[in-house]
Each structure stands twice: as structure tokens, then as C-alpha cells.
Amino acid sequence: MKNTFLHGHLNEAVYCQQPPGFVDPTRPNVVCLLQRSLYGLKQAPRAWHQRFAMFLRQLNFIASATDASLFIFTEGNSTAYLLLYVDDIVLTVLTASSHALFRRLIDRLHSEFTMTDLGELHHFLGIFVTRSSAGIFLS
């Protein structure tokens, strides 16, 4: 996910000083009312997570009751799991026809957020992922 914290919507009024280099010389003491979240705000992580979770709910994902980072999507006999850690996402689909569902979910995420698809999972949060015919190995 690109520019993660800039996607969040603030639920309260937050003001900041005019940024250096952009100070209005006729009104140097005027402050700015933020319309969106910014990096460095203590509200930014929560605002981003709420925005992303709300979008996933529109796609019919259900938040896990035990892990706020895990979202589950079920459609017929297909199940998709999405794991979110700040701006890193792991998405997996478990069915024989998983590619079509996977592509559809990725396309919907791309339609709402600026993202880069890094392909198959090789590394996540310091965990290396290796696939073989025997299964998946995490180290």
C-alpha cells in the first residue's frame, strides 16, 4: 500500500501550523484545518485502519473476532484471508478456482487504493516463506 496514512479520514478537527516554506506572509499565525490524516499524527494509524476495514466490509469481508489484522471473505465454497499490518497486505484464497476470486479482490483493492502487487509471498514481518511440494515452510 502506498501513502497509507494519507488515506485515513479524521473523525475530529485537527489543526496544524502552516508548513515551513508554505507560510502565508499576510497571515503567518493562521493554522490549517486538516481534511485528511497525515504521517506523524497519533490518530493516523487508527484512521487508516478504520478506513481500510470499512472498505473491506463493503467487499463482504468479515473482521476476525480474535485478530484485528485478519479479515475473512467467504463466497460459496471459496474463502479468502487478508492479513493487514500497517501498509503490508497478505491475501490468500483457498479453493480450486482461487485465481479468479484472487484477481477480482486485488482489482477491487486497486480501484480504491494505490498499491503495488509484489507477487507471491516470500517475506513478511521478518518471516521468510518457502514453498515446496511438501507444503509451506516459515522461518
Q: What is the pLDDT of residue 101?
A: 87
Which residue range forms the structural domain that includes residue 117? 4-138
- At residue 1, does pLDDT exceed 70? no
- Of 121, 137, 50, 136, the C-alpha closest to 88 is 121
Which one-letter amino acid corresponds to residue 86?
V
Pairing of strands 127-132, 78-85: unpaired
Q: How far is CA 120 from the centre of its chain?
A: 18
Do residues 31 and 15 lie in contact, with contact meaning Cβ atoms separated by under 8 Å? Answer: yes
Residue 57 grid coordinates = 466490509
Distance CA 42, CA 59 (A): 28
Q: How many separate domains does the chain show?
A: 1
Q: Which of 16, 10, 8 is nearest to 86 (CA)?
A: 8
The predicted-structure confidence for 11-46, as pLDDT tens digits, reads as follows: 778 787 888 888 888 988 888 877 766 656 677 777
The cell for 24 is 502565508
Partnered with residue 92 across adjacent β-strands are 81
Alpha-carbon distance 38 to 10, whole Å?
A: 10
Task: Name which of 22-26, 39-43, 55-59, 103-107 the model is least confident about.
Answer: 39-43
Please, which pLDDT band fits residue 53 given cuts at 50, 70 and 90? very high
